Structure 1
Amino acid sequence: MQIQHLPYADPGDPDVGSGTRLLLWLGRNQLGGQVRSTLWGLLLHLGIAGLPLGVGLAVQAVVDRSGSGLAWAGGLIALLGAAIAVGDTMQHRTAVTNWITAAARVQQLLARKTAELGSLLTRRVAAGEVVAVSTSDVEKIGWFVEALSRFAAAATTLLLVCVGLLVYQPALGVVVAVGVPVLALAALPLLPRATRRADVQREKAGRATELASDTVAGLRVLRGIGGEELFLGRYREASQEVRRAAVRSARMWALIAAVQVALPGLLLVVVVVYGAKLALEGRVSVGELVTVYGVVTLTHHPLRNFEEIAMAYSFSRPSARRAARVLALTRTTTTTPAGATSEATSGATSAGYEPPGGDLYDPVTGLLAPAGLFTAVVCGDPDAAGRLADRLGGHPSQDPEDHVSVLLGGVPLDELPLDAARSAVLVQDKDPILLSGTLRELLDVPASGKVSAEEALAAARCGDVLGALAQAAPEPGGDPMLTRITERGRSLSGGQRQRLALARSLVTDPEVLVLDEPTSAVDSHTEARVAAGVQRLRSGRTTVVLASSPLLLDPADRVVLVHEGRAVAVGTHRELLVTEARYRAVVTRETEEETLVDIEESA
């Protein structure tokens, strides 16, 4: 895989059993690139290791006063220099290619998982962790994949050097063959502690990133309540913890680096002293002593890769573990609910990517949203309402008792292909995200084509938003559709953001539209107009609104009260106000004492 061929047509199905298994899976999927990088690395390291042989032959040729021998030695040195230049260039090129392609594969997998889970991702994983995984963690994972081939080349080179020295000069070769493995493994006892300290550093850095992300997201609220200094102090404390953890981790890696420098120097002293003794005894020639000395001197180059691979693995393993945890998340666990027949399942299969139609039914709560009607749902618990909205969109919670698929026309949503499920049901949660870009780009979403952007904006009562965007246009009287919306729409008010998100959902025109508190940040006058606009534009289409505002409940064709996880009453808004005390308590904000009195009187 080359960089110009990115992105992958299919990044594959990762092994997410653990961080280590994910790293091994990435390595296996880049076997060709790893082999190429290893071969180029061998050329580089063997070229470096061979230089002392050329120098030794040259020294011996001078001692023997051999012109031809000196010429051969010079030619060998030139050839080795060319090999080093080519090997270094190509190894760097192929290793960086491995790094970039591995990082790109992980990013594609994360993007695919994000698209699959949607808003559920940040409900199951902290937003700061998602940011860390998709940025710094991806780099750490790519680093390990890139370092793997260079380590393989370095280890193979050291093995060949030891064997070669045993053949070339057995007396000195034995010393090197015994010493080099000790050098390579000397830092091994220090690695567990270094790894633990690196894990602590990464954990604290992830918490600091999460705190920073949450602070920026809630900056408007913090300014409103004067909480900037409080959160600034918390972030300052978190960043100092990261700094202290980083210093502790760096000390261990500095100790490992010192060991990697000190021990080769000690081996070099032993070789020189022992080699000089052998030379004085006439058992080795001057050229052979120079050759062995040069080889030992240059072993620090491949030995550095042992330190690097240990550091890369220590830093990438927790990153890979976090990535595996995100990639292991699933949209649903397929469970055939009571009442779902095999005919319904086979119908979903034979339907292919055609979204089914019909009533929307939730077996957990007993909620039924008839096809083509505007159904409002009143739920006293906002968290329960959010979980219900997720379930209606085909995302059951992780609670086994709550993990049953919603039926659309008798077909379980989680048995449909993802594209078909999403074209059938669209859920807008209570805190929708606006991506940066122009208003036209915001509304350029996959849609049926039956609802224009102008109709959707009018139904969502976005006239004041268009006026604000027109004023913010670079030129006076500019087109608001071409005005850029800042990141997450932070230049707009909460009500304006809600209405733009609602317009985006209306443009999509799905078979079933689920809205969770779509006007919670809108004033009463605008809320009533929005309710009328949505009812008119969605006429004949299935719409479910989770709300407790009478202005949204009154226009609904039917209202369902969900109490303690079950649908307990159905009717119109005005009927339920009269007949259902629990409904009245939620909608009119009655006190608990007043509700008990109403229930006793109705009984």
Structure 2
Amino acid sequence: MHIRDLPYADPGEPDARSGPRFLLWLGRNQLSGQLKSLGWGLLHFLGIAALPYMVGLAVQAVIDGSGTRLALAGGVILLAGVAIAGGDTMLHRTAVTNWITAAARVQQLLARRTARLGAALTRRVAAGEVVAVSTGDVEKIGWFVEALSRFAAAAVTVLVVCVGLVVYQPALGVIVAIGIPVLAIAVLPLLPRATRRADHQREKAGRATELASDTVAGLRVLRGIGGEELFLERYRLASQEVRAAAVRSARMWAVISAIQVLLPGLLLIGLVWHGVHLAREGRVTVGELVTVYSAVMLLNYPLRHFEEIAMAYSFSRPSAKRAARVLSLERTTAGGTEEGTPAAPAGAGAAPGGEPVVPAGDLYDPATGLLAPAGRLTAVVCGDPDAAGRLAERLGGHPAFETDLPSVRLGGVPLDGLPLDTARTAVLVQDKDPVLLSGTLRSLLDVPSSGGVGPQRALAAAQCADVLDALVQGSVADDPMDAHLTERGRSLSGGQRQRLALARSLVTDPEALVLDEPTSAVDSHTEARIADGLRELRAGRTTVVLTSSPLLLDRAERVVFLREGEVAAVGVHRELVVTQPGYRAVVTRETDEEAAEEAGTARAGHRPADDGPGSAAPRARVNTIDIEETA
């Protein structure tokens, strides 16, 4: 795999059972790159290992006065230098390629998992942790993958040198063969403590990242309530905890590094002391002593990779654990996870060739009894906003946690039994807090769609004329479609962002569209026009609006009132507001005292002087409009 071939056509299915298993899976998927890096690493390290022998041979040749052996040694040293330079260059190239391709694979896997889970992701994992995994954790995982092949080459080189020294000069080689493994494993007792401190540092850093992410996302609200200093102080404390954890971790790694310097020095001192005695006794030559000494000196270089792989694993293990946790999340359905979901019934939702097709028909939720007839605008009133959000997710075919509930059906086909792409094509859910990505307005509206609704029609239905004017005024572009939107549309008001998100949903023109409070941030006059535009544009298409706005409810063809998770009443707004006290309390924000007073008046047989068919509904609607306009 080369960098120019990225991104992967298919990054594969990861083994996300644990962090180490995920790292092992990454290594197996990059076996070719690891073997290339290992080969170049062996050339580099063995070239270094050959230098001591040639230097010792050259020294002995000078002592013996042999010009032939000196020239031979010089030629081999030259070849070793070329091998060292070439091997190091290609080792760096292949190792960095392994790093980048591993990081790219992890990022692709994270992006694919995010696309599968959609809005359910941040309900299971904090948004700050997802950001930390896709940035810092990816880098640490790539570091371990990159260091693995260099460590393998270093380990093979150390083994070859130790065996070679035992064969070349047993009296000194045995000391090296015993001492080098001791040096390699001397720091192992310290690694668990270093790993725990690295884990603690990573945990503190993740919490600080989450806090920073949440603070930035809510900065406008914080400024409105004067809470900037409070959250700034919290972030200061969190960052100081990260600094303290990093210092404690660095101290442990400093101790490990010191041991890696001290022990080889002690080995060299003992080796030279013993070698000098052997040379005086004539048991070893000066050239052999120089060879063994030089070999041990140069072994410090590959031994450094033992420390590096320990550090890389210690830092990457918690990162891989977090990445595996995110990658192990699955789209939960009524039948289990996405992979375990049964196929759609034969003849429903599948083309003759086996390709899934988008079903059509009524949208029905067996859990609540909610029925949204095909081709009609259905409004749903639910007193609990959280329950409304869960219902919207379930209607989209990915019910965050409620796996024991039956599947929503579209045209009789269970959405949970459809592939995720097909389910999302059939039913589009717009969250109550939609996100606008940075870029031009044209790119924002360039989404997969049926082609039946153009951007201009969608913008007009969502009443975005003032938004277009604002974009042109704040941009050098004359065409509002080429105007640039800042991240999350922060330069726009909440109502303007909400209308652009609605326009984006309308452009897709899905078979069934589910909108969760699509006009909660706009004024009543704009809301009335949006309600008319929505009904006109979506004529003949299934639309479900979860709302308590009287303006939207009054224009809906069918209104469903949910109470305690079940359908309590079905009708039109003007009827339900008169016949259903619970519905009226939710829609008009009626207090308990007002409801009791009205109930007492009704029992006493008193009616307003202007009583007439449908008069109570308009009165309640006007009161609500006045409240919203004041707000």
TM-score by length of 2: 0.92
Any idea what SS the aligned residue of 2:230 has? helix
CA contact 1:394–1:413 (8 Å) conserved in 2: yes
Question: Which residue of structure 2 lines up, in the alignment, with residue 51 of structure 1?
Answer: 51
Q: After alignment, is 490-499 or 299-308 more displaced?
A: 299-308
Question: Which residue of structure 1 lines up, in the alignment, with residue 474 of structure 2?
Answer: 472
Aligned mates of 2:342, 2:488 — CA distance in 1: 43
CA contact 2:58–2:73 (8 Å) conserved in 1: yes
Question: Which residue of structure 1 lines up, in the alignment, with residue 8 of structure 2?
Answer: 8
CA contact 1:345–1:415 (8 Å) conserved in 2: no
CA contact 1:385–1:546 (8 Å) conserved in 2: yes
Question: Which residue of structure 2 lines up, in the alignment, with residue 258 of structure 1?
Answer: 258
Alpha-carbon distance, 1:570 to partner = 1.0
Once the two structures are superposed, what CA deviation does each residue of 1:119-167 show, in whole Å capped at 9, x if it has no partner?
A: 2222221110011011111101100001110111111111111111110
Aligned mates of 2:101, 2:417 — CA distance in 1: 33
Aligned mates of 1:433, 1:277 — CA distance in 2: 77
CA contact 2:11–2:109 (8 Å) conserved in 1: yes
Any idea what SS the aligned residue of 2:348 has? helix
Once the two structures are superposed, what CA deviation does each residue of 1:521-566 show, in whole Å capped at 9, x if it has no partner?
A: 1011111111111001000000000011101111111111111111
Residue 41 in structure 1 maps to residue 41 in structure 2: yes
Aligned mates of 1:52, 1:368 — CA distance in 2: 83
Alpha-carbon distance, 1:362 to partner = 1.1
Structure 1 residues 601, 299: CA separation in 2 closer, same or farther (over 3 Å shift)? farther
Please tell me the root mean square deviation across aligned C-alpha atoms, in Å: 1.7
Alpha-carbon distance, 1:342 to partner = 8.8
Moved over 4 A (4+): 340-343, 593-603
Question: Which residue of structure 2 lines up, in the alignment, with residue 306 of structure 1?
Answer: 306
Any idea what SS the aligned residue of 1:560 has? strand
CA contact 2:334–2:404 (8 Å) conserved in 1: no
Aligned mates of 1:51, 1:442 — CA distance in 2: 62
Aligned letter for 2:467? V
Alpha-carbon distance, 1:578 to partner = 1.3
Question: Which residue of structure 1 lines up, in the alignment, with residue 99 of structure 2?
Answer: 99
Question: Which residue of structure 2 lines up, in the alignment, with residue 450 of structure 1?
Answer: 452
Aligned letter for 2:9? A
Aligned mates of 2:309, 2:557 — CA distance in 1: 65
Residue 428 in structure 1 maps to residue 430 in structure 2: yes
Any idea what SS the aligned residue of 2:404 has? helix
Structure 1 residues 479, 197: CA separation in 2 closer, same or farther (over 3 Å shift)? same
CA contact 1:11–1:105 (8 Å) conserved in 2: yes
CA contact 2:368–2:565 (8 Å) conserved in 1: yes
CA contact 2:553–2:573 (8 Å) conserved in 1: yes
Alpha-carbon distance, 1:432 to partner = 0.5
Aligned mates of 2:400, 2:488 — CA distance in 1: 26
Aligned mates of 1:462, 1:47 — CA distance in 2: 69
Question: Which residue of structure 2 lines up, in the alignment, with residue 386 of structure 1?
Answer: 389
Question: Which residue of structure 1 lines up, in the alignment, with residue 366 of structure 2?
Answer: 363
Structure 2: gaps (5+ residues):
604-631
Once the two structures are superposed, what CA deviation does each residue of 1:320-366 show, in whole Å capped at 9, x if it has no partner?
A: 11111111111223529xxx999835523446232000111112111
Question: Which residue of structure 2 lines up, in the alignment, with residue 66 of structure 1?
Answer: 66
Aligned mates of 2:231, 2:459 — CA distance in 1: 37
Aligned mates of 2:70, 2:426 — CA distance in 1: 81
Question: Which residue of structure 1 lines up, in the alignment, with residue 203 of structure 2?
Answer: 203
CA contact 2:334–2:403 (8 Å) conserved in 1: no
Structure 1: gaps (5+ residues):
none
Residue 219 in structure 1 maps to residue 189 in structure 2: no
Aligned mates of 1:61, 1:90 — CA distance in 2: 34
Aligned letter for 2:65? R
Any idea what SS the aligned residue of 1:348 has? coil
Aligned mates of 1:341, 1:173 — CA distance in 2: 65
Question: Which residue of structure 2 lines up, in the alignment, with residue 441 of structure 1?
Answer: 443
TM-score by length of 1: 0.96
CA contact 2:343–2:418 (8 Å) conserved in 1: no
Residue 516 in structure 1 maps to residue 486 in structure 2: no
CA contact 1:37–1:94 (8 Å) conserved in 2: yes
Alpha-carbon distance, 1:14 to partner = 0.3
Any idea what SS the aligned residue of 1:562 has? strand
CA contact 1:345–1:412 (8 Å) conserved in 2: no
Overall identity of the aligned pairs, in %: 74
Question: Which residue of structure 1 lines up, in the alignment, with residue 411 of structure 2?
Answer: 409
CA contact 2:344–2:414 (8 Å) conserved in 1: no
Question: Which residue of structure 2 lines up, in the alignment, with residue 140 of structure 1?
Answer: 140
Alpha-carbon distance, 1:280 to partner = 0.8
Aligned mates of 1:191, 1:508 — CA distance in 2: 54
Question: Which residue of structure 2 lines up, in the alignment, with residue 395 of structure 1?
Answer: 398
Structure 1 residues 416, 341: CA separation in 2 closer, same or farther (over 3 Å shift)? closer
Aligned letter for 2:348? G
Structure 1 residues 599, 248: CA separation in 2 closer, same or farther (over 3 Å shift)? farther
Question: Which residue of structure 2 lines up, in the alignment, with residue 344 of structure 1?
Answer: 345
Aligned length: 597
Once the two structures are superposed, what CA deviation does each residue of 1:402-430 show, in whole Å capped at 9, x if it has no partner?
A: 4x321111111122122211111100001
Any idea what SS the aligned residue of 1:554 has? helix
Residue 376 in structure 1 maps to residue 375 in structure 2: no
Alpha-carbon distance, 1:50 to partner = 1.1
Alpha-carbon distance, 1:579 to partner = 1.4
Any idea what SS the aligned residue of 2:555 has? coil
